[in-house]
Amino acid sequence: MASGRICLGVAALVLAAAVGVGHAAPSDDRQAELRHRVKHDCGSCHGMTMKGGLGPPLLPEVLAAQSDEGLADVILHGVPGTPMPPWRSEITREEALWIARLLRRGVLP
């Protein structure tokens, strides 16, 4: 009986990780700030509709090959030798992951 509960518990954790449950979403006010930042700061290079410009497109089909964690690393640490700056002094890792999930779903700010 106990092993059955453990298996269910492990299955629930795996499912939660797979769908992104357990990641604390920023507050509604902070989400609005982050959406503004994505639209204006990211949009200045990646295009206001994220279809590309100076920077590459940030569309779901382009980002599909990247993990949320990998995208968050780029957001936080930038890309040396390119105009992509690091944002780690202004946003948290959880916020960078939230932005990555937003972009991968194709939700425009």
Residue 15 lies in a domain: no
Residue whose pair of structure tokens reads 């089909």 in the numeric block? 61
Residue 5 lies in a domain: no
What are the pLDDT digits (tens) for 17-59?
444 445 679 999 999 999 999 999 999 999 999 999 999 999 9
Name 85's Cβ contacts closer than 8 Å, sequence gap at least 6. Answer: 78
The pTM of this model reads: 0.77
What are the pLDDT digits (tens) for 60-105?
999 999 999 999 999 999 999 999 999 999 999 999 999 999 999 9
Q: Domain of 100: which CATH number?
A: 1.10.760.10
- Average pLDDT across the chain, whole number: 84
pLDDT of the residue at 21: 47
- Reported residue count of the chain is 109
pLDDT of the residue at 24: 79
pLDDT of the residue at 4: 41
Residue 3 lies in a domain: no
Residue 51: CB atoms within 10 A of its CB come to: 12
Residue 95 lies in a domain: yes
Range of the domain at 82: 26-104
Give me 35's structure tokens.
């959406």
Q: How many domains, the chain? A: 1
Rounded Cα distance between 89 and 67, Å, is 22
